[in-house]
A and B are shown apart, each in its own frame.
Chain A
Amino acid sequence: MLEVSRLCKSFGGLKAIDQVSLWVDEGEIVALIGPNGAGKTTLFSLIVGFTKPDEGTVRFFDRDVTGLPPHRICARGIARTFQITQPFVRLSVLANVMVGAYHTTGRRHEAEERAQEVAHRVGIGEQLHMRADALTLAGRKRLELARALATRPKLLLLDEAMSGLNPREVGDMVQIVKEIRQTGVTILLIEHVMQAVVSLASRVYVLSNGRIIAEGPPAAITADPHVIEAYLGHGAAARLSQGGARA
Protein backbone atom coordinates (compact mmCIF):
# COMPACT_ATOMS: atom_id res chain seq x y z
CA MET A 1 0.00 0.00 0.00
CA LEU A 2 2.76 2.38 0.99
CA GLU A 3 6.09 2.00 -0.72
CA VAL A 4 9.03 4.21 0.16
CA SER A 5 12.05 3.79 -2.12
CA ARG A 6 15.54 5.09 -1.52
CA LEU A 7 14.49 8.29 0.14
CA CYS A 8 17.27 10.80 0.81
CA LYS A 9 17.24 14.13 2.59
CA SER A 10 20.10 16.36 3.66
CA PHE A 11 20.00 19.48 5.78
CA GLY A 12 23.03 21.63 5.14
CA GLY A 13 25.81 19.09 5.12
CA LEU A 14 24.02 16.59 7.30
CA LYS A 15 22.46 13.57 5.66
CA ALA A 16 19.36 13.09 7.78
CA ILE A 17 17.80 10.33 5.71
CA ASP A 18 20.03 8.07 3.66
CA GLN A 19 18.56 5.69 1.09
CA VAL A 20 15.63 4.64 3.24
CA SER A 21 13.25 2.10 1.80
CA LEU A 22 10.28 0.53 3.51
CA TRP A 23 6.84 -0.79 2.71
CA VAL A 24 3.57 -1.21 4.51
CA ASP A 25 0.85 -3.61 3.44
CA GLU A 26 -2.83 -2.93 3.78
CA GLY A 27 -4.15 -3.89 7.18
CA GLU A 28 -0.77 -4.08 8.86
CA ILE A 29 0.50 -2.25 11.87
CA VAL A 30 4.16 -1.47 11.24
CA ALA A 31 6.43 0.24 13.74
CA LEU A 32 9.43 2.47 13.10
CA ILE A 33 11.84 2.62 16.02
CA GLY A 34 15.30 3.92 16.59
CA PRO A 35 17.38 6.04 18.95
CA ASN A 36 16.74 9.75 19.33
CA GLY A 37 17.94 11.78 16.39
CA ALA A 38 17.77 8.82 14.03
CA GLY A 39 15.51 10.72 11.69
CA LYS A 40 12.17 9.09 12.33
CA THR A 41 10.10 12.26 12.37
CA THR A 42 12.03 13.55 9.36
CA LEU A 43 11.02 10.40 7.53
CA PHE A 44 7.40 11.02 8.41
CA SER A 45 7.72 14.61 7.22
CA LEU A 46 9.05 13.39 3.90
CA ILE A 47 6.22 10.92 3.46
CA VAL A 48 3.45 13.39 4.24
CA GLY A 49 4.84 16.28 2.27
CA PHE A 50 6.01 18.65 4.98
CA THR A 51 9.49 18.39 3.55
CA LYS A 52 10.52 17.49 0.05
CA PRO A 53 13.00 14.68 -0.39
CA ASP A 54 16.23 15.21 -2.31
CA GLU A 55 15.97 11.81 -3.93
CA GLY A 56 13.74 8.77 -3.85
CA THR A 57 10.06 8.14 -4.21
CA VAL A 58 6.99 7.54 -2.13
CA ARG A 59 4.21 5.56 -3.68
CA PHE A 60 0.76 5.05 -2.22
CA PHE A 61 -1.54 2.48 -3.79
CA ASP A 62 0.96 2.42 -6.58
CA ARG A 63 0.58 6.12 -7.35
CA ASP A 64 3.48 8.47 -6.98
CA VAL A 65 2.89 10.91 -4.15
CA THR A 66 6.47 12.07 -3.70
CA GLY A 67 6.68 15.69 -2.66
CA LEU A 68 2.96 16.41 -2.79
CA PRO A 69 1.89 19.15 -0.36
CA PRO A 70 0.37 17.94 2.93
CA HIS A 71 -3.22 18.72 2.08
CA ARG A 72 -2.99 16.68 -1.12
CA ILE A 73 -1.43 13.80 0.78
CA CYS A 74 -4.37 13.91 3.12
CA ALA A 75 -6.69 13.88 0.15
CA ARG A 76 -5.04 10.68 -1.03
CA GLY A 77 -5.86 9.05 2.28
CA ILE A 78 -2.78 9.45 4.45
CA ALA A 79 -3.19 11.18 7.79
CA ARG A 80 -0.61 11.90 10.44
CA THR A 81 -0.36 12.93 14.06
CA PHE A 82 2.36 15.18 15.43
CA GLN A 83 4.91 14.14 18.00
CA ILE A 84 4.41 17.37 19.90
CA THR A 85 0.66 17.76 19.88
CA GLN A 86 -0.63 20.58 17.73
CA PRO A 87 -4.17 21.30 18.80
CA PHE A 88 -6.12 24.29 17.55
CA VAL A 89 -5.80 25.93 20.91
CA ARG A 90 -8.65 28.37 20.79
CA LEU A 91 -11.17 25.89 19.48
CA SER A 92 -13.15 23.34 21.43
CA VAL A 93 -12.30 19.67 21.23
CA LEU A 94 -15.34 19.14 19.05
CA ALA A 95 -14.35 21.95 16.70
CA ASN A 96 -10.86 20.52 16.49
CA VAL A 97 -12.08 17.14 15.37
CA MET A 98 -14.61 18.71 13.03
CA VAL A 99 -11.79 20.30 11.05
CA GLY A 100 -10.70 16.78 10.23
CA ALA A 101 -14.25 15.64 9.61
CA TYR A 102 -14.83 18.48 7.17
CA HIS A 103 -12.30 16.81 4.94
CA THR A 104 -14.90 14.40 3.63
CA THR A 105 -18.05 16.46 3.89
CA GLY A 106 -19.06 20.08 3.47
CA ARG A 107 -22.08 19.97 5.70
CA ARG A 108 -21.95 21.03 9.28
CA HIS A 109 -24.09 18.48 11.02
CA GLU A 110 -22.53 15.62 9.10
CA ALA A 111 -19.11 16.83 10.19
CA GLU A 112 -20.38 17.26 13.72
CA GLU A 113 -21.80 13.74 13.83
CA ARG A 114 -18.66 12.21 12.44
CA ALA A 115 -16.54 14.21 14.90
CA GLN A 116 -18.65 13.07 17.84
CA GLU A 117 -18.49 9.46 16.72
CA VAL A 118 -14.73 9.52 16.32
CA ALA A 119 -14.24 11.38 19.58
CA HIS A 120 -16.24 8.78 21.49
CA ARG A 121 -14.35 5.97 19.84
CA VAL A 122 -11.07 7.46 20.91
CA GLY A 123 -12.27 8.25 24.43
CA ILE A 124 -12.61 12.03 24.55
CA GLY A 125 -16.36 12.07 24.08
CA GLU A 126 -16.84 13.63 27.52
CA GLN A 127 -14.56 16.54 26.78
CA LEU A 128 -16.08 17.68 23.51
CA HIS A 129 -16.95 21.13 24.78
CA MET A 130 -13.71 21.86 26.53
CA ARG A 131 -11.14 24.14 24.98
CA ALA A 132 -8.36 22.13 23.42
CA ASP A 133 -5.66 23.68 25.55
CA ALA A 134 -7.45 22.57 28.73
CA LEU A 135 -6.87 18.89 28.03
CA THR A 136 -4.32 16.75 29.80
CA LEU A 137 -1.46 15.30 27.79
CA ALA A 138 -3.27 12.01 27.37
CA GLY A 139 -6.34 13.93 26.21
CA ARG A 140 -4.31 15.91 23.71
CA LYS A 141 -2.77 12.76 22.32
CA ARG A 142 -6.24 11.33 21.83
CA LEU A 143 -7.33 14.55 20.20
CA GLU A 144 -4.45 14.29 17.71
CA LEU A 145 -5.63 10.81 16.95
CA ALA A 146 -9.29 11.75 16.65
CA ARG A 147 -8.59 14.65 14.33
CA ALA A 148 -6.53 12.53 11.99
CA LEU A 149 -9.05 9.72 12.13
CA ALA A 150 -11.90 12.06 11.27
CA THR A 151 -10.42 12.56 7.82
CA ARG A 152 -11.23 8.90 7.03
CA PRO A 153 -7.65 7.93 6.18
CA LYS A 154 -6.61 4.63 4.72
CA LEU A 155 -3.15 4.95 6.26
CA LEU A 156 -2.50 6.57 9.61
CA LEU A 157 0.96 7.74 10.58
CA LEU A 158 1.28 8.00 14.36
CA ASP A 159 4.28 9.93 15.64
CA GLU A 160 5.01 8.86 19.22
CA ALA A 161 1.39 8.71 20.21
CA MET A 162 2.37 7.08 23.50
CA SER A 163 5.19 9.33 24.62
CA GLY A 164 4.62 10.96 27.97
CA LEU A 165 1.79 8.63 28.93
CA ASN A 166 1.84 6.50 32.06
CA PRO A 167 1.61 2.70 31.67
CA ARG A 168 -2.13 2.60 32.18
CA GLU A 169 -2.68 5.33 29.60
CA VAL A 170 -0.36 3.49 27.22
CA GLY A 171 -2.47 0.37 27.65
CA ASP A 172 -5.61 2.36 26.83
CA MET A 173 -4.02 3.86 23.75
CA VAL A 174 -2.82 0.47 22.54
CA GLN A 175 -6.37 -0.78 22.80
CA ILE A 176 -7.66 2.19 20.82
CA VAL A 177 -5.07 1.69 18.10
CA LYS A 178 -6.01 -1.97 17.83
CA GLU A 179 -9.65 -1.01 17.43
CA ILE A 180 -8.74 1.50 14.77
CA ARG A 181 -6.91 -1.15 12.81
CA GLN A 182 -9.98 -3.34 13.06
CA THR A 183 -12.00 -0.68 11.26
CA GLY A 184 -9.72 -1.12 8.29
CA VAL A 185 -7.12 1.60 8.79
CA THR A 186 -3.49 0.66 8.17
CA ILE A 187 -1.04 2.06 10.68
CA LEU A 188 2.61 3.06 10.58
CA LEU A 189 3.82 4.25 13.94
CA ILE A 190 6.95 5.81 15.37
CA GLU A 191 7.37 4.69 18.90
CA HIS A 192 9.84 4.61 21.78
CA VAL A 193 7.55 2.82 24.19
CA MET A 194 8.49 -0.82 23.56
CA GLN A 195 5.42 -2.10 25.34
CA ALA A 196 3.31 -0.54 22.58
CA VAL A 197 5.57 -1.73 19.79
CA VAL A 198 5.51 -5.29 20.97
CA SER A 199 1.75 -5.34 21.52
CA LEU A 200 0.80 -3.70 18.26
CA ALA A 201 3.30 -4.19 15.49
CA SER A 202 3.58 -7.21 13.26
CA ARG A 203 6.74 -5.79 11.71
CA VAL A 204 9.33 -3.34 12.91
CA TYR A 205 11.85 -1.18 11.07
CA VAL A 206 14.82 0.19 12.94
CA LEU A 207 16.23 3.53 11.86
CA SER A 208 19.62 4.74 13.03
CA ASN A 209 21.57 7.72 11.73
CA GLY A 210 19.17 8.02 8.83
CA ARG A 211 19.49 4.42 7.69
CA ILE A 212 17.37 1.34 8.12
CA ILE A 213 19.55 -1.11 10.01
CA ALA A 214 17.07 -3.86 10.70
CA GLU A 215 13.62 -5.10 9.81
CA GLY A 216 11.50 -7.92 11.07
CA PRO A 217 9.03 -9.06 13.72
CA PRO A 218 9.40 -7.42 17.16
CA ALA A 219 10.92 -10.47 18.85
CA ALA A 220 13.71 -10.76 16.29
CA ILE A 221 14.40 -7.02 16.40
CA THR A 222 14.84 -6.82 20.14
CA ALA A 223 17.42 -9.60 20.00
CA ASP A 224 19.26 -8.18 16.98
CA PRO A 225 22.78 -7.12 18.05
CA HIS A 226 22.88 -4.25 15.55
CA VAL A 227 19.77 -2.80 17.06
CA ILE A 228 21.16 -3.13 20.56
CA GLU A 229 24.34 -1.37 19.48
CA ALA A 230 22.39 1.44 17.93
CA TYR A 231 20.58 2.10 21.18
CA LEU A 232 23.22 1.28 23.76
CA GLY A 233 26.48 1.95 22.01
CA HIS A 234 29.40 0.13 20.54
CA GLY A 235 30.14 -3.24 22.08
CA ALA A 236 26.99 -3.27 24.16
CA ALA A 237 25.60 -6.29 22.36
CA ALA A 238 28.67 -8.31 23.14
CA ARG A 239 28.70 -7.19 26.77
CA LEU A 240 25.06 -8.07 27.13
CA SER A 241 25.38 -11.53 25.71
CA GLN A 242 28.48 -12.20 27.84
CA GLY A 243 27.44 -10.67 31.11
CA GLY A 244 23.79 -11.63 31.22
CA ALA A 245 22.52 -10.14 34.48
CA ARG A 246 25.74 -8.27 35.16
CA ALA A 247 25.62 -5.95 32.08
Chain B
Amino acid sequence: MNRRHLILVGIGGLALIAYPWVFRSNYAVDIGFLVLFAAYLGQTWNIAGGFAGQTSFGHVVFFGVGAYVSTILHATYGVNPWIAWPCSALGGAIVGWLIGTLCYRAGLKGSYFALITLAVAEVGRIVANSLPITRGGLGMLIRADLRAENFQFKDPIWFYYIALVLCVLAMVIAWGLTRTRFGARLAAIRDNEDAAEALGVNAFREKVKCLTLSGGLCGAGGTVYAQKYLYIDPSIAFSIDKSVEMLLVTLIGGPGTVLGPLIGSGVLHFIGELTRDLGAMLPSVGNPQPLSIIIYGAALIAIVAWLPDGLMGLFRRTVGGDRA
Protein backbone atom coordinates (compact mmCIF):
# COMPACT_ATOMS: atom_id res chain seq x y z
CA MET B 1 0.00 0.00 0.00
CA ASN B 2 1.53 3.26 -1.03
CA ARG B 3 0.75 6.80 0.01
CA ARG B 4 -1.94 7.31 -2.60
CA HIS B 5 -3.82 4.24 -1.44
CA LEU B 6 -3.49 5.28 2.17
CA ILE B 7 -5.04 8.63 1.39
CA LEU B 8 -7.92 7.05 -0.49
CA VAL B 9 -8.57 4.63 2.34
CA GLY B 10 -8.43 7.46 4.82
CA ILE B 11 -10.95 9.50 2.88
CA GLY B 12 -13.20 6.49 2.52
CA GLY B 13 -12.97 5.81 6.22
CA LEU B 14 -13.83 9.36 7.13
CA ALA B 15 -16.77 9.30 4.75
CA LEU B 16 -18.13 6.17 6.38
CA ILE B 17 -17.70 7.65 9.83
CA ALA B 18 -19.35 10.90 8.86
CA TYR B 19 -22.17 9.32 6.87
CA PRO B 20 -24.81 8.99 9.63
CA TRP B 21 -24.16 12.55 10.73
CA VAL B 22 -24.68 13.89 7.25
CA PHE B 23 -27.69 11.73 6.44
CA ARG B 24 -29.52 11.72 9.68
CA SER B 25 -32.76 10.01 8.78
CA ASN B 26 -33.46 6.62 10.31
CA TYR B 27 -33.88 5.26 6.81
CA ALA B 28 -30.43 6.38 5.68
CA VAL B 29 -28.79 5.08 8.84
CA ASP B 30 -30.55 1.76 8.39
CA ILE B 31 -29.36 1.44 4.81
CA GLY B 32 -25.88 2.27 6.00
CA PHE B 33 -26.12 -0.48 8.58
CA LEU B 34 -27.35 -2.97 6.01
CA VAL B 35 -24.54 -2.17 3.60
CA LEU B 36 -21.84 -2.41 6.27
CA PHE B 37 -23.31 -5.52 7.86
CA ALA B 38 -23.61 -7.29 4.53
CA ALA B 39 -20.04 -6.23 3.80
CA TYR B 40 -18.93 -7.73 7.09
CA LEU B 41 -20.66 -11.05 6.50
CA GLY B 42 -19.38 -11.03 2.93
CA GLN B 43 -15.86 -10.52 4.20
CA THR B 44 -16.20 -13.57 6.43
CA TRP B 45 -17.22 -15.53 3.34
CA ASN B 46 -14.35 -13.94 1.44
CA ILE B 47 -11.83 -15.37 3.86
CA ALA B 48 -12.85 -18.90 2.94
CA GLY B 49 -14.29 -18.44 -0.52
CA GLY B 50 -12.19 -15.62 -1.93
CA PHE B 51 -8.81 -16.07 -0.33
CA ALA B 52 -8.78 -19.83 -0.07
CA GLY B 53 -11.05 -20.72 -2.96
CA GLN B 54 -13.46 -22.68 -0.76
CA THR B 55 -16.78 -21.73 -2.30
CA SER B 56 -19.39 -22.43 0.32
CA PHE B 57 -23.12 -22.25 -0.30
CA GLY B 58 -24.08 -22.69 3.32
CA HIS B 59 -22.15 -20.01 5.18
CA VAL B 60 -25.35 -18.88 6.79
CA VAL B 61 -25.03 -21.86 9.12
CA PHE B 62 -22.33 -19.99 11.07
CA PHE B 63 -24.51 -16.91 11.21
CA GLY B 64 -27.48 -18.91 12.42
CA VAL B 65 -25.50 -20.78 15.05
CA GLY B 66 -24.11 -17.50 16.31
CA ALA B 67 -27.50 -15.85 16.41
CA TYR B 68 -29.08 -18.71 18.31
CA VAL B 69 -26.20 -19.19 20.74
CA SER B 70 -26.29 -15.65 22.00
CA THR B 71 -30.05 -15.39 21.91
CA ILE B 72 -30.51 -18.60 23.86
CA LEU B 73 -27.88 -17.55 26.37
CA HIS B 74 -29.44 -14.13 26.76
CA ALA B 75 -33.17 -14.64 26.42
CA THR B 76 -33.38 -18.03 28.14
CA TYR B 77 -30.51 -17.99 30.59
CA GLY B 78 -30.19 -14.31 31.28
CA VAL B 79 -26.57 -14.00 30.23
CA ASN B 80 -25.60 -10.48 29.28
CA PRO B 81 -25.47 -10.27 25.49
CA TRP B 82 -22.06 -8.58 25.50
CA ILE B 83 -20.76 -11.68 27.22
CA ALA B 84 -22.78 -14.00 25.02
CA TRP B 85 -21.32 -12.34 21.95
CA PRO B 86 -17.91 -14.05 22.03
CA CYS B 87 -19.71 -17.30 22.75
CA SER B 88 -21.44 -16.92 19.42
CA ALA B 89 -18.10 -16.43 17.75
CA LEU B 90 -16.85 -19.53 19.48
CA GLY B 91 -19.91 -21.47 18.37
CA GLY B 92 -19.37 -20.41 14.78
CA ALA B 93 -15.70 -21.32 15.01
CA ILE B 94 -16.47 -24.77 16.36
CA VAL B 95 -18.95 -25.45 13.58
CA GLY B 96 -16.40 -24.20 11.06
CA TRP B 97 -13.76 -26.48 12.53
CA LEU B 98 -16.15 -29.42 12.44
CA ILE B 99 -17.23 -28.90 8.86
CA GLY B 100 -13.65 -28.34 7.74
CA THR B 101 -12.28 -31.37 9.49
CA LEU B 102 -14.97 -33.71 8.20
CA CYS B 103 -15.12 -32.41 4.66
CA TYR B 104 -11.43 -31.94 4.04
CA ARG B 105 -10.59 -35.25 5.66
CA ALA B 106 -12.92 -36.81 3.11
CA GLY B 107 -11.20 -34.87 0.36
CA LEU B 108 -14.24 -32.85 -0.65
CA LYS B 109 -13.55 -29.94 -2.95
CA GLY B 110 -15.14 -27.56 -5.38
CA SER B 111 -18.79 -28.17 -6.06
CA TYR B 112 -19.05 -31.14 -3.70
CA PHE B 113 -17.92 -28.84 -0.93
CA ALA B 114 -20.41 -26.17 -1.97
CA LEU B 115 -23.30 -28.61 -1.98
CA ILE B 116 -22.40 -30.22 1.30
CA THR B 117 -22.26 -26.85 3.03
CA LEU B 118 -25.72 -26.20 1.63
CA ALA B 119 -26.91 -29.43 3.17
CA VAL B 120 -25.33 -28.54 6.51
CA ALA B 121 -27.11 -25.20 6.54
CA GLU B 122 -30.34 -27.02 5.81
CA VAL B 123 -29.67 -29.36 8.73
CA GLY B 124 -29.14 -26.29 10.90
CA ARG B 125 -32.44 -24.86 9.83
CA ILE B 126 -34.32 -28.09 10.49
CA VAL B 127 -32.72 -28.56 13.90
CA ALA B 128 -33.53 -25.00 14.90
CA ASN B 129 -37.05 -25.58 13.67
CA SER B 130 -37.55 -28.67 15.80
CA LEU B 131 -35.94 -28.19 19.18
CA PRO B 132 -37.71 -26.80 22.22
CA ILE B 133 -34.63 -24.86 23.22
CA THR B 134 -34.88 -22.77 20.06
CA ARG B 135 -38.68 -22.50 20.29
CA GLY B 136 -38.87 -24.15 16.88
CA GLY B 137 -40.71 -22.32 14.15
CA LEU B 138 -42.02 -19.72 16.56
CA GLY B 139 -38.61 -18.15 16.78
CA MET B 140 -37.11 -16.34 19.70
CA LEU B 141 -37.89 -12.88 20.94
CA ILE B 142 -35.52 -10.75 22.91
CA ARG B 143 -37.27 -8.52 25.34
CA ALA B 144 -36.84 -4.91 24.33
CA ASP B 145 -34.90 -3.00 26.94
CA LEU B 146 -33.14 -0.34 24.97
CA ARG B 147 -30.10 0.25 27.08
CA ALA B 148 -26.46 -0.04 26.10
CA GLU B 149 -25.64 -2.60 28.75
CA ASN B 150 -28.17 -4.92 27.13
CA PHE B 151 -26.57 -4.55 23.73
CA GLN B 152 -29.63 -2.64 22.63
CA PHE B 153 -29.74 0.97 21.58
CA LYS B 154 -32.47 3.52 21.16
CA ASP B 155 -30.65 5.30 18.40
CA PRO B 156 -29.90 3.07 15.40
CA ILE B 157 -26.72 5.05 14.84
CA TRP B 158 -25.04 2.86 17.41
CA PHE B 159 -25.66 -0.28 15.37
CA TYR B 160 -24.30 1.52 12.36
CA TYR B 161 -21.03 2.13 14.17
CA ILE B 162 -20.89 -1.41 15.49
CA ALA B 163 -21.30 -2.65 11.95
CA LEU B 164 -18.60 -0.23 10.84
CA VAL B 165 -16.19 -1.46 13.48
CA LEU B 166 -16.86 -5.08 12.56
CA CYS B 167 -16.43 -4.29 8.90
CA VAL B 168 -13.10 -2.59 9.55
CA LEU B 169 -11.99 -5.46 11.78
CA ALA B 170 -12.78 -7.97 9.07
CA MET B 171 -10.95 -5.88 6.50
CA VAL B 172 -7.91 -5.68 8.72
CA ILE B 173 -7.96 -9.45 9.06
CA ALA B 174 -8.32 -9.82 5.31
CA TRP B 175 -5.48 -7.39 4.80
CA GLY B 176 -3.46 -9.46 7.22
CA LEU B 177 -4.08 -12.46 5.03
CA THR B 178 -2.42 -10.70 2.14
CA ARG B 179 0.71 -10.12 4.21
CA THR B 180 1.24 -13.34 6.12
CA ARG B 181 2.36 -16.85 5.52
CA PHE B 182 -1.10 -18.16 6.33
CA GLY B 183 -2.68 -16.04 3.60
CA ALA B 184 0.03 -16.90 1.09
CA ARG B 185 -0.57 -20.57 1.74
CA LEU B 186 -4.32 -20.18 1.33
CA ALA B 187 -3.78 -18.42 -1.99
CA ALA B 188 -1.50 -21.23 -3.10
CA ILE B 189 -4.09 -23.81 -2.09
CA ARG B 190 -6.72 -21.89 -3.99
CA ASP B 191 -4.73 -21.74 -7.19
CA ASN B 192 -3.18 -25.20 -7.14
CA GLU B 193 -3.53 -27.41 -4.12
CA ASP B 194 -1.21 -30.15 -5.40
CA ALA B 195 1.59 -27.73 -6.14
CA ALA B 196 1.12 -26.17 -2.72
CA GLU B 197 1.45 -29.57 -1.05
CA ALA B 198 4.65 -30.23 -2.97
CA LEU B 199 6.03 -27.03 -1.45
CA GLY B 200 5.39 -28.18 2.07
CA VAL B 201 1.94 -26.73 2.67
CA ASN B 202 -0.31 -28.92 4.81
CA ALA B 203 -3.44 -28.11 2.85
CA PHE B 204 -5.79 -29.90 5.22
CA ARG B 205 -4.59 -28.02 8.27
CA GLU B 206 -4.60 -24.63 6.60
CA LYS B 207 -8.08 -25.11 5.15
CA VAL B 208 -9.48 -26.14 8.51
CA LYS B 209 -7.89 -23.12 10.15
CA CYS B 210 -9.38 -20.93 7.47
CA LEU B 211 -12.90 -22.27 7.87
CA THR B 212 -12.65 -22.01 11.64
CA LEU B 213 -11.68 -18.35 11.40
CA SER B 214 -14.37 -17.64 8.85
CA GLY B 215 -17.01 -19.43 10.91
CA GLY B 216 -16.09 -17.64 14.09
CA LEU B 217 -16.29 -14.19 12.52
CA CYS B 218 -19.55 -15.04 10.80
CA GLY B 219 -21.01 -16.33 14.04
CA ALA B 220 -20.24 -13.03 15.71
CA GLY B 221 -22.39 -11.37 13.08
CA GLY B 222 -25.34 -13.44 14.18
CA THR B 223 -25.39 -11.81 17.59
CA VAL B 224 -25.41 -8.31 16.13
CA TYR B 225 -28.38 -9.18 13.95
CA ALA B 226 -30.29 -10.71 16.81
CA GLN B 227 -29.67 -7.75 19.08
CA LYS B 228 -30.72 -5.23 16.45
CA TYR B 229 -33.93 -6.87 15.33
CA LEU B 230 -34.72 -8.56 18.65
CA TYR B 231 -36.20 -11.56 16.85
CA ILE B 232 -34.82 -14.59 15.07
CA ASP B 233 -36.38 -17.73 13.67
CA PRO B 234 -35.03 -20.66 11.67
CA SER B 235 -36.02 -19.25 8.31
CA ILE B 236 -34.18 -16.01 9.04
CA ALA B 237 -31.18 -17.44 10.83
CA PHE B 238 -30.51 -20.18 8.29
CA SER B 239 -31.87 -18.67 5.14
CA ILE B 240 -30.14 -19.61 1.92
CA ASP B 241 -30.67 -16.04 0.72
CA LYS B 242 -28.14 -14.89 3.26
CA SER B 243 -25.60 -17.42 2.05
CA VAL B 244 -26.16 -16.19 -1.46
CA GLU B 245 -25.86 -12.55 -0.41
CA MET B 246 -22.49 -13.20 1.27
CA LEU B 247 -21.26 -14.94 -1.84
CA LEU B 248 -22.64 -12.31 -4.17
CA VAL B 249 -21.20 -9.21 -2.51
CA THR B 250 -17.80 -10.84 -2.53
CA LEU B 251 -17.92 -12.01 -6.12
CA ILE B 252 -19.21 -8.68 -7.36
CA GLY B 253 -16.69 -6.68 -5.41
CA GLY B 254 -13.75 -8.95 -5.99
CA PRO B 255 -12.99 -12.29 -4.33
CA GLY B 256 -9.70 -12.43 -2.50
CA THR B 257 -9.45 -8.68 -2.11
CA VAL B 258 -9.76 -6.57 1.02
CA LEU B 259 -12.20 -4.00 -0.32
CA GLY B 260 -14.21 -6.40 -2.45
CA PRO B 261 -17.08 -7.23 -0.08
CA LEU B 262 -17.56 -3.60 0.89
CA ILE B 263 -17.69 -2.46 -2.70
CA GLY B 264 -19.88 -5.36 -3.66
CA SER B 265 -22.28 -4.63 -0.82
CA GLY B 266 -22.49 -1.00 -1.81
CA VAL B 267 -23.20 -1.84 -5.42
CA LEU B 268 -25.72 -4.52 -4.56
CA HIS B 269 -27.70 -2.30 -2.24
CA PHE B 270 -27.54 0.56 -4.69
CA ILE B 271 -29.00 -1.67 -7.39
CA GLY B 272 -31.60 -2.86 -4.91
CA GLU B 273 -32.69 0.66 -4.06
CA LEU B 274 -32.76 1.64 -7.70
CA THR B 275 -34.91 -1.29 -8.78
CA ARG B 276 -37.22 -0.73 -5.87
CA ASP B 277 -37.76 2.88 -6.83
CA LEU B 278 -38.24 1.91 -10.47
CA GLY B 279 -40.56 -0.91 -9.53
CA ALA B 280 -42.65 1.41 -7.40
CA MET B 281 -43.15 3.58 -10.44
CA LEU B 282 -44.65 0.75 -12.49
CA PRO B 283 -48.40 0.78 -11.94
CA SER B 284 -49.28 -2.89 -11.69
CA VAL B 285 -46.37 -4.06 -9.61
CA GLY B 286 -47.42 -5.40 -6.25
CA ASN B 287 -44.17 -6.29 -4.58
CA PRO B 288 -41.10 -5.00 -6.36
CA GLN B 289 -38.67 -6.82 -4.15
CA PRO B 290 -38.27 -9.93 -6.30
CA LEU B 291 -37.22 -7.60 -9.11
CA SER B 292 -34.04 -6.62 -7.32
CA ILE B 293 -33.28 -10.23 -6.58
CA ILE B 294 -33.73 -11.10 -10.22
CA ILE B 295 -31.12 -8.47 -10.99
CA TYR B 296 -28.83 -10.03 -8.39
CA GLY B 297 -29.14 -13.36 -10.17
CA ALA B 298 -28.33 -11.72 -13.47
CA ALA B 299 -25.42 -9.89 -11.85
CA LEU B 300 -24.04 -13.20 -10.60
CA ILE B 301 -24.13 -14.67 -14.09
CA ALA B 302 -22.60 -11.52 -15.56
CA ILE B 303 -19.76 -11.56 -13.04
CA VAL B 304 -18.94 -15.18 -13.72
CA ALA B 305 -19.10 -14.62 -17.45
CA TRP B 306 -17.19 -11.38 -17.78
CA LEU B 307 -15.69 -10.21 -14.50
CA PRO B 308 -14.46 -13.22 -12.55
CA ASP B 309 -12.18 -10.95 -10.54
CA GLY B 310 -15.07 -8.69 -9.62
CA LEU B 311 -15.07 -4.92 -9.68
CA MET B 312 -11.73 -4.72 -7.93
CA GLY B 313 -10.29 -6.80 -10.73
CA LEU B 314 -11.70 -4.40 -13.27
CA PHE B 315 -10.36 -1.46 -11.32
CA ARG B 316 -6.91 -2.96 -11.12
CA ARG B 317 -6.78 -3.72 -14.80
CA THR B 318 -7.77 -0.26 -15.91
CA VAL B 319 -5.95 1.72 -13.26
CA GLY B 320 -3.59 -0.21 -11.12
CA GLY B 321 -1.09 -2.03 -13.32
CA ASP B 322 -0.36 -5.63 -12.51
CA ARG B 323 0.24 -5.80 -8.84
CA ALA B 324 -0.90 -9.34 -8.23
Contacts and interface: CB of A to CB of B under 8 A. Distances in A.
A–B touching in complex (CB under 8 Å): yes
Interface residues of A, number: 35
Given A102-B181, A129-B323, A131-B324, A71 B191 contact: no
Interface of B: 179-181, 184-185, 187-188, 190-192, 194-203, 256, 322-324
Contact of B195 (A75, A86, A103, A130): A86
A228 B188 CA distance: 42
A74 B200 contact: yes
B187 A90 contact: yes
Contacts of A151: 199-200
B169 to A, nearest CB: 21
Contact of A71 (B179, B181, B192, B201): B201
Contact of B198 (A48, A95, A106, A107): A48
Contacts of A87: 191-192, 195
A82 B324 contact: no
A99 B198 contact: no
Given A71-B203, A95-B187, A102-B185, A79 B198 contact: yes
B198 A88 contact: no
Contacts of B199: 71, 74, 79, 99-100, 103, 147-148, 150-151
A45 B185 CA distance: 22
A86 B192 contact: yes
A108 to B, nearest CB: 6
Given A71-B201, A74-B197, 16 more contacts: A70-B197, A71-B200, A79-B198, A87-B191, A88-B187, A88-B196, A89-B192, A90-B190, A91-B187, A92-B322, A92-B323, A99-B185, A100-B199, A102-B185, A147-B195, A151-B200
Contacts of A79: 198-199
A86 B194 contact: yes
Contact of A91 (B179, B180, B324): B324
A89 B197 CA distance: 16
Interface string A126-157: 00011100100000000000011011000000
Interface string A191-222: 00000000000000000000000000000000
Given A129-B324, A130-B322, A75 B191 contact: no
Contacts of A86: 192, 194-195
Given A70-B198, A108-B180, A151-B200, A88 B323 contact: no
